[in-house]
Amino acid sequence: LSVALSGTVLSRCPSCARNFANLYCHNTCSPDQSLFTNVSRIVNRTTALGVRQLAVVEYQAYYGQDFAD
């Protein structure tokens, strides 16, 4: 998912685009992910180089009302 792409899709609502980008960055870059994220589904995958890995395909995120507002 590209934040730039979401900006294009949400271009008619600059506030929506900024809010989405903020949420996306918080979900992927926060050092406190373990406090608000629960991994609920993983799968085994093999990379192009043949390395086996686990990949997260589903998670639940929990946010406080202040953050949501």
> Is 0.85 surpassed by the pTM of this model?
no
Tokens of 24: 């996306």
Structural domain spans, the chain: 1-30, 33-64
User: What pLDDT is stored for residue 2 in this prediction?
Assistant: 63
Residue 28 in contact with residue 1, Cβ under 8 Å?
no
User: What pLDDT is stored for residue 11 in this prediction?
Assistant: 80
User: What pLDDT is stored for residue 1 in this prediction?
Assistant: 53
User: What pLDDT is stored for residue 25 in this prediction?
Assistant: 86
In DSSP notation, 2-69 reads: -HHHHHHHTTT-HHHHHHHHHHHHHHHH-TTGGGTEEEEEEEEEE-TTS-EEEEEEEEEE---HHHH-
Chunked mean pLDDT (size 10), the chain, 69 residues: 69 84 86 92 95 94 83
